[in-house]
Chains A and B, each alone.
Chain A
């Protein structure tokens, strides 16, 4: 015998003690699916039969059941469940989580149960216990349906259980294995002409045949109708015929709308109020052959409230679907799918005020729905309403999925006067709903320990302590989070050089990548300035449209911690418009089909941002060193005139003074006074992202050469980054790379950055460092101190561990790219911000600051 239960149900085993519930559960369910009241008694009281622990035991049982049901897992309750009072809370639980309550009743004879109990030493209760339970069970049997069970399976003898098979049936709503591509079409309301046009625009061909329409779909595609096929419009039967035909032939799916259901009730002879265009349906159906109405009724009756498609990535329903309802089944879900949720109030037009479930939607699935006419479809938190009120004179809209492209056909005319004008659905401000919602982020999305899912590198953890530090930095200093779509990662140096006199040398950088099986690397000159992220838009409109910025800004320039680079707004504006003009002049807007760009750059001079650092640390050290050492040398020289052994010390101090002078010379290279824009230089080196694309699929030569073209459009402000490609299989090529580095660093350069040619590079062991830096000997004086090159110091400095730094570099790189990808995918800001905040949090991780 076979019993079928929905794959997501709450199964109550019902039967007196000793009837064999636990054995039954063991045979038919996974051990983790079964929650036994006896076991819970044991958990709380160390004794499975301690009746005084029953209350606590059931609290534990309900608690676990809630967790399982919330996670969408089938759960079996192994308890006697013979009293209505014990079943009631469980049925309520099933309702709360929109799963089906199922009862499996083992109604075996008292005698049998009693005998079984007698054979168990721990069940020393008298026969009256089983007798009572059996009586209670008998009294319950007839009422189980009324208690809300959606399936009651009663077994009278143990023999009936022999060969029993329990089959789990997928939920009707579960179409996860259908991957589309789909064309999802909003509320049609009998607008057949527009439907035909829309289908044609989507590549479908429609042919009329005897009893309806034959529709040919474009290769592999499938249509999905969001319901409300009927009422109000002029050609309701044609719409029905077309949709029924497509659904029947498997080329379309359809979910029911509230109008369709109302019509069904009418067709089934229920007494319903004829309003909201139902009269049109009735009248038009009258003119059809007599059996048509029956077919329509059966069709509507067979529709499923909503569908979960494409591995759970897409959900379709007439009026939307909350995350916790998706893929489940209950009356509440059916009602939500048809009507959405209302607050109980009515608005000035007498229409019910709808609770905006989409504003609170946090689900991973995209939800496409209709029901409430809007003038334009707008994504909000991965949901979109595509009912554009065709029957009210708006348009009929289809959404191509996964392309997420809207295709619309204007209504030929207004078929039905709307109760309120369509424009009223538009938000009051100029911002999209999403951007308006993004004005305020939620603290729950950033604080505490967080695990962030990334495309490049799996799940990354951000520790709570780090989030604490980041919250302060983000709140006090960072610029508008809407601009913060990326923060740059930290970068590790190459391994310590084995060469005398040096801490870093390209040979180690090359060796690192060779070991990681990289064939070619790019060496880029490292500019010594401050890291800057620059975003510019084609115009202010683009800034508003794409970033949701309402202040009069065309872009932003911020530091590696998200802080605005310029305190002077006028200077910032001038700076950004110069970059904007350069993008225009270089033709990149059109070439990249974008109206914004995000650039990773170095902004010089270093002194413009590092003023405090220079005044409080670098310059004082230089001043003190030069004055102190010179004085000491003079004293030693005088001494050596009468104490010869002092001259050795004097010589050493002269060397020290020379190192101090080199140090001052080193930092001065990176300082100049900024009086105006003419004194600034911006060197972009990554063209990170533009509309629709994060450019990690291009190699670094593309980035550098494309940006070189940008730089040539304004050479006064923009500085192209010199580079050299090195073949790690070729000794000569590597020697050239080393010679280039030597040339750069001896002429005062900071050094170079070595990157695999590809932006993202993996090998067997996973993602590898996107870049390592290789700094020059003189530059390192400002990192390791003026005198670090003295052999006795250098030897001690060689010991440095790169592990933490490299792990941070990888994680920050991953999060930065993830942030951009989410932005490009038009995710809600909180999803972008989560990653950016994560980078900032990781930056607070203690790590040797010299690396």
Chain B
């Protein structure tokens, strides 16, 4: 929350004229989120430093926050780094308190406004999502010298690792307006959160402040997407509370985990291959009424919808949030009635017997079983094969042997943090054969994705038939 700007161009105290703030006083301003103080730790002819110190009201943050409950992320918490770090609050303060400097006007020293000066800025605590490397990629292309000092999370617990905070100093021969502009845009880009809703006017602001430098910036895309980042999409508050001891936001975690898995498997576009192959199996089985168990955000359903063979598709997922996304992506509310009546989405769980699942021609369970605790597979087996009892069931799961081929995946680790197990081909086939016998299904195994001679395919599929 402390930003200092130093000028070493004599007479250095011209900085006061440029900022329109008197070096011999401590000035205090009221802002919506607290107070800001401007003062000068140094004010000599050789060196003048102006400080902008934000006094963010930690109780006010929580108590006066507007917007739906649970969507404020950290702003819902009293224990919160916001009062202590440079964030979008800092940008707001720059725009409010140094408004003329940011606009490039100066009554006292108009000639200096566009003059590059030997300026440096120091931010006491800057959260850098993406680390020092990203920090440098943001400022160095603009010609700044960057110094960054990393802070540990807690020196008493070195095993907790480093925090995401740096004390950052940047220096360059630059006009004050440009320096402030760069800080105004890039501080929130480095920080993860914005304290206000991102609306259309933010786009305008970004374009205005980015004029002349943003377009040519090599990290342009990252800057834009991060600057405009809104609050996370509708998070079901209840779930977050349920798991509050274990994790801050399981959905956010889930998102990054999905990213992880896709990043690992990405070169293969494996997910698409998998869905194509599953759809082909269903087509070949002649099934008309399909169950998509663990349908997630409805990608397979979208594929199946294209084929008139499938009269009825029931998508089930345990995550209500995924179902909401699926409904959105499938445009359920605007679909023509004839299309819409083919799809139904329900919340349900593979851990519970469910009469809504009975009587279907085929069920697909794509990349789901590895998310179940192994001891609880017994319940799943009965739910699917004994009670739902479709004519055909198509199951896919990762082939653990193939993990050796993923360069970015450390040995012994699963592809996804939520995977409870990953099976070799032998393990999967033993399991599937045993289940087939127990419930009266025949099983055929098929590889999914490009097969390695020794390790097999990245995904394995079992097609069960009654």
A682 sits at the interface (CB 8 A): no
Interface residues in B141-170 (C-beta closer than 8 Å to A)? 151-154, 156-157, 159-161, 163-165, 167
Known: A614-B160, A624-B81, A639-B41. A440 touches B352 (CB 8 A): yes
Residues of A near B411 (CB, < 8 A) are none
A613 sits at the interface (CB 8 A): yes
Q: Tell me the minimal C-beta distance from A479 to chain B in angstroms.
A: 8
Q: Total contacts A to B, CB within 8 angstroms?
A: 228
Judge whether A620 and B349 touch: CB under 8 Å: no
Judge whether A619 and B163 touch: CB under 8 Å: yes
Contact of B25 among A560, A631, A643, A786 (CB under 8 A): A643
Q: Give per-residue flags for A780-823: 1 if the beta carbon is below 8 A from chain B beta carbons, else 0.
A: 00111111100001001100000000000000000000000000
Q: Give per-residue flags for B1-33: 1 if the beta carbon is below 8 A from chain A beta carbons, else 0.
A: 110100000000000000000001110000000
Q: Give per-residue flags for B351-385: 1 if the beta carbon is below 8 A from chain A beta carbons, else 0.
A: 11111100000000000000101011011001100
B319 sits at the interface (CB 8 A): yes
CA gap between A480 and B163 in the complex, in Å: 37
A850 sits at the interface (CB 8 A): yes
Residues of B near A840 (CB, < 8 A) are 242
Contact of A846 among B2, B58, B69, B349 (CB under 8 A): B69
Q: Which residue of B has the minimal Cβ distance to A841? A: B238
Judge whether B349 and A629 touch: CB under 8 Å: no
CA gap between A705 and B53 in the complex, in Å: 55
Judge whether A619 and B69 touch: CB under 8 Å: no
Interface residues in A441-478 (C-beta closer than 8 Å to B)? 441-444, 446-447, 465-466, 468-477
Judge whether A645 and B352 touch: CB under 8 Å: no
Q: Tell me the minimal C-beta distance from A778 to chain B in angstroms.
A: 14
Known: A442-B352, A631-B125, A631-B167. A468 touches B26 (CB 8 A): no
Judge whether A635 and B4 touch: CB under 8 Å: yes
A513 sits at the interface (CB 8 A): no
Judge whether A671 and B157 touch: CB under 8 Å: yes
Interface residues in A36-60 (C-beta closer than 8 Å to B)? none
CA gap between A441 and B349 in the complex, in Å: 11
Residues of B near A226 (CB, < 8 A) are none
A627 sits at the interface (CB 8 A): yes
CA gap between A785 and B354 in the complex, in Å: 45
Judge whether B245 and A443 touch: CB under 8 Å: no
CA gap between A610 and B243 in the complex, in Å: 11
Q: Tell me the minimal C-beta distance from A641 to chain B in angstroms.
A: 9
Judge whether A649 and B26 touch: CB under 8 Å: yes
B237 sits at the interface (CB 8 A): yes
CA gap between A480 and B418 in the complex, in Å: 17
Among B72-80, B93-101, B255-263, B298-306, the stretch that binds chain A is B72-80
Judge whether A471 and B349 touch: CB under 8 Å: yes
Judge whether A476 and B246 touch: CB under 8 Å: no
Residues of A near B238 (CB, < 8 A) are 465-466, 469, 844-846
B contact patch SS:
mixed
Q: Give per-residue flags for A612-639: 1 if the beta carbon is below 8 A from chain B beta carbons, else 0.
A: 1111111111111101110110011011
A843 sits at the interface (CB 8 A): yes
Q: Tell me the minimal C-beta distance from A609 to chain B in angstroms.
A: 6
Residues of B near A328 (CB, < 8 A) are none
Residues of B near A613 (CB, < 8 A) are 244-245, 247-248
Judge whether B154 and A622 touch: CB under 8 Å: yes
Q: Tell me the minimal C-beta distance from B433 to chain A in angstroms.
A: 19
Judge whether B41 and A444 touch: CB under 8 Å: no
Known: A551-B375, A631-B125. A609 touches B352 (CB 8 A): no
Judge whether A628 and B2 touch: CB under 8 Å: yes
B51 sits at the interface (CB 8 A): yes
Known: A469-B242, A475-B351. A619 touches B1 (CB 8 A): no
Q: Which residue of A has the minimal Cβ distance to B350? A: A475
Count residues of chain B with CB under 8 A from any CB of chain A. Answer: 82
CA gap between A624 and B63 in the complex, in Å: 22
Q: Give per-residue flags for B215-255: 1 if the beta carbon is below 8 A from chain A beta carbons, else 0.
A: 00000000000000000000011110111111110000000
Judge whether B153 and A635 touch: CB under 8 Å: no
Contact of A797 among B59, B159, B387 (CB under 8 A): B59
B85 sits at the interface (CB 8 A): yes
Q: Tell me the minimal C-beta distance from B72 to chain A in angstroms.
A: 12
Judge whether B236 and A475 touch: CB under 8 Å: no
A561 sits at the interface (CB 8 A): yes
Known: A635-B51, A639-B51. A468 touches B382 (CB 8 A): no
CA gap between A845 and B70 in the complex, in Å: 12
Known: A627-B125, A631-B125, A785-B80. A473 touches B243 (CB 8 A): yes
B318 sits at the interface (CB 8 A): yes
CA gap between A660 and B1 in the complex, in Å: 15
A676 sits at the interface (CB 8 A): no
Q: Tell me the minimal C-beta distance from A476 to chain B in angstroms.
A: 6
Known: A439-B382, A476-B318, A477-B243. A629 touches B84 (CB 8 A): yes
Residues of A near B350 (CB, < 8 A) are 475
Contact of B348 among A440, A443, A793, A796 (CB under 8 A): A443
Known: A441-B352, A474-B351. A624 touches B375 (CB 8 A): no
Judge whether A440 and B353 touch: CB under 8 Å: yes
CA gap between A610 and B160 in the complex, in Å: 12
Q: Tell me the minimal C-beta distance from A276 to chain B in angstroms.
A: 34
Residues of A near B76 (CB, < 8 A) are 849
Judge whether A609 and B245 touch: CB under 8 Å: yes
Q: Tell me the minimal C-beta distance from A553 to chain B in angstroms.
A: 9
A175 sits at the interface (CB 8 A): no
Known: A440-B353, A668-B154. A635 touches B58 (CB 8 A): no
Residues of A near B376 (CB, < 8 A) are 480
CA gap between A515 and B244 in the complex, in Å: 34
Q: Give per-residue flags for A553-564: 1 if the beta carbon is below 8 A from chain B beta carbons, else 0.
A: 000000111010
Q: Tell me the minimal C-beta distance from A109 to chain B in angstroms.
A: 56
CA gap between A477 and B78 in the complex, in Å: 27
Judge whether A617 and B248 touch: CB under 8 Å: yes
B281 sits at the interface (CB 8 A): no
Residues of A near B153 (CB, < 8 A) are 615, 619-620, 623
Judge whether A476 and B371 touch: CB under 8 Å: yes
Judge whether B242 and A624 touch: CB under 8 Å: no
Interface residues in B25-56 (C-beta closer than 8 Å to A)? 25-26, 37, 39-43, 49, 51, 53
B347 sits at the interface (CB 8 A): yes
Q: Tell me the minimal C-beta distance from A334 to chain B in angstroms.
A: 30
B275 sits at the interface (CB 8 A): no
Judge whether A610 and B125 touch: CB under 8 Å: no
CA gap between A470 and B352 in the complex, in Å: 13
CA gap between A620 and B387 in the complex, in Å: 49
Judge whether A627 and B165 touch: CB under 8 Å: yes
Q: Which residue of A has the minimal Cβ distance to B239? A: A469
Judge whether A619 and B154 touch: CB under 8 Å: yes
Residues of A near B418 (CB, < 8 A) are 476
Q: Tell me the minimal C-beta distance from B124 to chain A in angstroms.
A: 4
Residues of A near B347 (CB, < 8 A) are 447, 468, 471
Q: Tell me the minimal C-beta distance from A98 to chain B in angstroms.
A: 24
Q: Tell me the minimal C-beta distance from B77 to chain A in angstroms.
A: 7
Residues of A near B157 (CB, < 8 A) are 619, 671, 673
Q: Which residue of B has the minimal Cβ distance to A614? A: B160
Q: Which residue of A has the minimal Cβ distance to B244? A: A849
Residues of A near B354 (CB, < 8 A) are 442-444
Residues of A near B163 (CB, < 8 A) are 619-620, 623-624
Which 4 A-B residue pairs are closest in the complex by CB-CB distance?
A844-B238, A785-B78, A631-B124, A469-B238
A-B contact pairs, 14 of them (CB 8 A): A441-B379, A471-B349, A480-B375, A610-B245, A621-B79, A621-B84, A627-B125, A635-B49, A639-B26, A671-B157, A785-B78, A843-B242, A844-B241, A846-B70
Excluding A631-B167, A797-B59, 11 further A-B contacts by CB distance (< 8 Å) are A439-B379, A440-B383, A441-B352, A442-B353, A613-B245, A623-B153, A632-B2, A638-B42, A639-B26, A642-B43, A849-B241
Q: Which of A's residues lie within 8 Å of B, judged by CB?
A: 439-444, 446-447, 465-466, 468-477, 479-481, 530, 551, 559-561, 563, 609-610, 612-625, 627-629, 631-632, 635-636, 638-639, 642-643, 645-646, 649, 660, 664, 668, 671, 673, 782-788, 793, 796-797, 840, 843-846, 849-850
